[in-house]
Amino acid sequence: MDAGEQQKMLELFGKYQKELYASLDVETKRNVDNIDIFEAMIRIAVPNVVTVAAGHHIMFTREGSTTPGEFASADTLMFDHEIARAVWGPCFKGVLLALASEPRATRDKLLREQWEKRNA
C-alpha cells in the first residue's frame, strides 16, 4: 500500500469512527474526543506528519514512509518522553507528574488546561 492509499485509509477510518461515535468503546471515544490536542502534539514532535487519525489507537502517516506510526493509547502518547519534551519543553517532567497524579477520568481535562496555558 503506498503512502497516498494509507492516508486515504486513515482518513476514512477516522470518519467511520466518528459515525459510530455512540457505540465507541471508552478508549476510542477518549481518542476521538481529544484528537485536536493529540494531533497537534504529534505534529510538534514528529517530523513530516501527513495525516493523524483516531480510532482505538492514534495513528499517523509520515511523508516518505509507507509504514504508519501509532500510539496504542492516549496515555502512551501523553507520557512518551520524546513527545512530552517537544511539547512542554524543559518543564515536561512537571507536566507529566501532574498528569500522572490525575485520575484517568479527569486527566484529559487537565491535559487540555495545560495545553491552553502552553498556547496562551
Q: In this predicted structure, what is the pLDDT of residue 46?
A: 96
Q: Helix, strand or coil for residue 90?
A: helix
User: Per-residue pLDDT tens for 43-100?
Assistant: 999 999 999 999 889 999 999 998 999 999 999 999 999 999 999 999 999 999 999 9
Sign of the Cα torsion 117, 58, 52, 44 reads: positive
Other C-beta atoms lying within 10 Å of the C-beta of residue 105:
7
* pLDDT for 110 beyond 70: yes
Q: What is the largest CA-CA distance in the chain?
A: 42
User: Per-residue pLDDT tens for 3-50?
Assistant: 788 878 877 877 776 666 555 578 888 999 999 999 999 999 999 999
Strand partners, 61: 51
Amino acid at the residue 91:
C
Q: In this predicted structure, what is the pLDDT of residue 88?
A: 97
pTM: 0.79
Which residues make Cβ contacts (< 8 Å) with residue 89, sequence separation at least 6? none
- Quote the cell numbers at residue 30: 477518549
